[in-house]
A and B are shown apart, each in its own frame.
Chain A
């Protein structure tokens, strides 16, 4: 599989833009998700109040992150949940492979987890001789196709039902082509049900981890998450260190913001509170529960106060649904686990700024992402800060690759800009000359005229017009 990488962003973009089917289907899907969300927040005032609360909860959690993580660990352990810390994706994969091997599992059945995508767990398991089966329908489709999710909430949103029908007919034994959505879902369901019964290890993500109670919260719609976390003997949960909140009362506001922003649902079909393994005398539930807490650059985002708000994210995906760039290119073109605006601000912490230098500039700063963010992450401001760090123009950057986006021509252009525009007399001379040369306006002006007519100065600048106007009124 030749997976896109963020380094090849421009080439990825050209590839996707040339595919009208993909563009139309993404546009339609984003319109649908935007309408679903809008219906859940009919009153702007109520939304503003709720998201201010969400922002405060997340800021409060991050302000106390180190101690909350210690409290979380202690309370999880008290509940019988074993806690493991992983600094890198490699460490996280090794931990999970060890746990699965000890459980005697040759297959891990997975609920939806973007962090497991982030660490590329399926590849690591496969390399260790352990199978992985995605049980979320969207993830199952993407796995069958040998692809990555193109959206953090709707992993297979880039696929039409006809794509899925062909995929199932090709890849699932004994299945004939059908593009009936109900039948396709039933096919997936049959395959997965059998696996849940026989598999020793289930894996899931975590939406919110509650420090005071040692509880893991998991939101889902298909019931597969509950199967993964209750049927197999061993449940392994994995999440990023930023997902912790202090108290149980912090969960309901975040939950309502999450589900309404993500899928336009007032509540999801399933909400799982995971508070430990099967207790003595209980008839079901896993015998072991583990939590893997992953850093992978998050502590760096925490340490740079200018970028810390990145970690407020609750992974609802609303920013991508509302992004004019994401709506044109979908998730794969970004070449990162997390696409769209949230991916543009979080990926530099995971991959460094050198690999992601074209992502931080891939925004018109229109602000649609910040406007819908349920926890008020100032995404455009964070992009500005990342651009400064990428150009080597921010003090004491912590991000690896800072300064690597600097290109000589661009730096000289802005130095020239500052030199000219900070000298008013010289600037007026420049605009005088530019307007007098208007007849010689070049027909080709670099990439600008690729899709636009040339820029042509006016006959006289506003400066000149205002000067002669002043002369008139004095006369």
Chain B
């Protein structure tokens, strides 16, 4: 595992000490389609003694408009999020792509706005994708037991190439006892979602997703795990349409379910 962790080309990020409080940016995808994952994040962090603040006025990071060539609209949405995260707590984001948007693209969106740029930059520095936050900051002590299971991990392109956190989800899962984590063929390849790409180029998106789903099914895993809600919408939709028994779960939901002490 340590050899695999060294694959990451970038310098390791400097992580803060374990905080008492964090913000949760829940993402618009989880808000409407997988709130259980958001609640699981809160459960996981509270169990570790961290208080989670979820500003009720949050909506979306603005990525759909931004990646489609509408920066003004993205800026209008992002600007409303900024003051909600003005304290100095870390901001936990259970999605590689929303995290990438906030860490890398918000400072660019507000580059010409001297009033908002300092806050955007401060937020960018405090954004942590869930898996890196758990692995490097929280360092949970997982239960020593668990049913034997084989899962396959799908890492998003944003986690891999923007956040450099594709290995942290893998490393977290490797800490769980009796869990076999398998890799699918062409593991590093996109699932074909790409936000608006999936509707602008539906045939291409479907072709890429179909190959990804073939590779996931070929692993004979019982569940697929991913830390990205967008990929999960696309992959679960494709799996369901083709009548597969395999389903993907958000990493947070999976970790919470698997590590709860028996009631």
What is the interface of chain A, defined by CB distance below 8 A to chain B? 10, 13-14, 17, 23, 44-45, 47-48, 324-325, 328-329, 361-368, 370-371, 384, 386-391, 393, 405, 410-411, 414-415, 417-418, 421-422, 424, 427-428, 431, 434-435, 446-458, 460-467, 469-470
Q: Name the B residues within 8 Å of A456 (CB-CB).
A: 33
Choice from B39, B162, B210, B237 contacting A465 with Cβ under 8 Å: B39
- With contacts A324-B192, A460-B35 taken as known, whether A421 is within 8 angstroms of B28 at the C-beta atoms is yes
* Minimum CB distance partner of B77 in chain A: A421
- With contacts A418-B77, A452-B234, A455-B233 taken as known, whether A462 is within 8 angstroms of B39 at the C-beta atoms is yes
Name the distance in Å between B27's Cβ and chain A's nearest Cβ. 8
Q: Name the B residues within 8 Å of A428 (CB-CB).
A: 56
Does B157 sit within 8 A of A, measured CB to CB?
yes
Write out, one digit per residue, whether chain B residues 35-57 have a CB within 8 A of any chain A CB (1) or not (0): 11011001000000000001011
* Minimum CB distance partner of A389 in chain B: B69
Beyond the given pairs A13-B203, A368-B190, 4 more chain A to chain B contacts, judged by CB atoms under 8 angstroms and listed by A's residue number, are A48-B9, A361-B200, A414-B65, A418-B73
Number of chain B residues close to chain A: CB under 8 A:
72
Pair count A-B, CB < 8 A: 201
Interface SS of A by simple majority: helix
Bound CA span A449–B233, Å = 12
Q: Which of A366, A422, A448, A453 has the most CB of B within 10 A?
A: A366
Does B208 sit within 8 A of A, measured CB to CB?
yes
Bound CA span A17–B211, Å = 12
Q: Which of B42, B77, B80 has the most CB of A within 10 A?
A: B77
What is the interface of chain B, defined by CB distance below 8 A to chain A? 7-9, 26, 28, 30-36, 38-39, 42, 54, 56-60, 62, 64-74, 76-77, 79-80, 157-158, 160-162, 188-190, 192-211, 233-234, 236-238, 240-241
Choice from A368, A421, A447 contacting B189 with Cβ under 8 Å: A368
Name the distance in Å between A359's Cβ and chain B's nearest Cβ. 10
- With contacts A447-B202, A461-B31, A465-B39 taken as known, whether A417 is within 8 angstroms of B157 at the C-beta atoms is no
Q: Name the A residues within 8 Å of B7 (CB-CB).
A: 44
Are A453 and B240 in touch, CB under 8 angstroms? yes
Q: Name the B residues within 8 Å of A328 (CB-CB).
A: 204, 207-208, 211
Choice from A364, A391, A467 contacting B56 with Cβ under 8 Å: A467
* Minimum CB distance partner of B32 in chain A: A457
Are B205 and A366 in touch, CB under 8 angstroms? no
Are B54 and A364 in touch, CB under 8 angstroms? no
Choice from B70, B199, B233 contacting A414 with Cβ under 8 Å: B70
Bound CA span A393–B69, Å = 7
Are A463 and B31 in touch, CB under 8 angstroms? yes
Are A364 and B79 in touch, CB under 8 angstroms? no
Bound CA span A391–B200, Å = 14
Q: Which of B32, B33, B64, B237 has the most CB of A within 10 A?
A: B32
Q: Which of A48, A390, A418, A465 has the most CB of B within 10 A?
A: A418
Bound CA span A452–B36, Å = 21
* Minimum CB distance partner of B39 in chain A: A465
Name the distance in Å between A48's Cβ and chain B's nearest Cβ. 5
